Amino acid sequence: MEGFDPNKIANAIYEAHINFFNARRVRDEAVRIRDYRKYQVYIESKFSNEKLSVEDRKAKAETDTTVIAFNKEIAKAQEIMDDSKAELERVLTKKEFMLDANATNRAELKLGGMQT
C-alpha cells in the first residue's frame, strides 16, 4: 500500500474549501448586484411618468437587460460553485477512504502478529 502524505491531504482539503468559499462569494456578490439593479429599475419606473401597476414595475425590473445579464452571470457562478463543492466532497471522501484503508491495514497487521 502506498504511503499517504498528511500534508498533501490537508493542503488538498484546504484548497478545496478555499475554492468553494471563493466561488460562493462570487455568486453571492452577483446576486446582490442583480437585486440592487432590479431595485433601481423598479424605483425608476415608479417615479417615471408612466402609470404602471406594482406587478408591471416588477416585471419591468425582471426584464431589464442588465438584470438578465446578471442572471446569466449568476448561473455561471452557480455552476462554478457546484463544481467546487463537488471537488470538496471528492477530497473529503478520498480522505475517509484513506483513513478506512489505514485502519484496515493496522487491523490486519495486528491480526497477523497474534500467535496462538
What whole-number percentage of the chain has pLDDT above 70? 89
Would you state the pLDDT for residue 2?
Answer: 45
Give residues with Cβ within 8 angstroms of 88, minimum separation 6: 13, 16, 17, 19, 20
Whose cell is 404602471? That residue is: 52
pTM above threshold 0.85: no
Cα angle: 47, vertex 53, 58; to 5 degrees:
80
pLDDT beneath 50, residues of the chain: 1-2
- The answer to whether the CB of 33 falls within 8 A of the CB of 70 is yes
DSSP at 49: S
